[in-house]
Amino acid sequence: MRLIYLKWNLDDYKKTYTATYEFVHDYRDHRRWRHLDIMQFKTYINAKIPRIKTKDGKIESIKVPWASEGNTHTFLFEILIIDRLLATKNQSKTAGMLRCGFNVVNRIIHAASLQTLPAEYP
C-alpha cells in the first residue's frame, strides 16, 4: 500500500472563498481516499482538510478537488471502475481486478446512473 500525503496551500483557496473566508479555524482528522494504483500498489490519498471560519461565523470544510463530498475514492478511481465495468460487464470481476469491494463498485454504478438520469425520472 502506498500513501500520498498532501499539504494545503491555502492561498489558492483564498481566491475561491474571498467573499466569505476569514481564517482557518482548525483541521479535520485525516481522511483517506482510494486512488489509482501505482505500480500494482494500492494507493490512497491522505489529507487533513482545513475548516475555515466564514465572516458570518459558520465553520465549513474546504471541498477537495479530487473527490465529491462523502466519498472514499477519487474521481479518477470512479472513472477507472466505470471503464472496467463497460469492458467486463460484471461487477464481481471488476471488483476483483481493482482489488476493491463489490459494494464500492455497486455504489459507484448507482451514483453514476443517478447523475445521468433526468430530474423528472421517478
The structure's pTM equals 0.74
Would you place residue 121 in the very low, low, confident or very high pLDDT band (cuts 50, 70, 90)? low
pLDDT, tens digit (0-9, with 9 covering 90-100), for 66-105 = 888 888 899 999 999 999 999 999 999 999 999 999 999 9
Residue 112: how many other CB atoms lie within 10 Å: 15
Domain boundary assignment for the chain = 1-64, 73-122
Q: Which residue has the higher pLDDT, 109 or 2?
A: 109
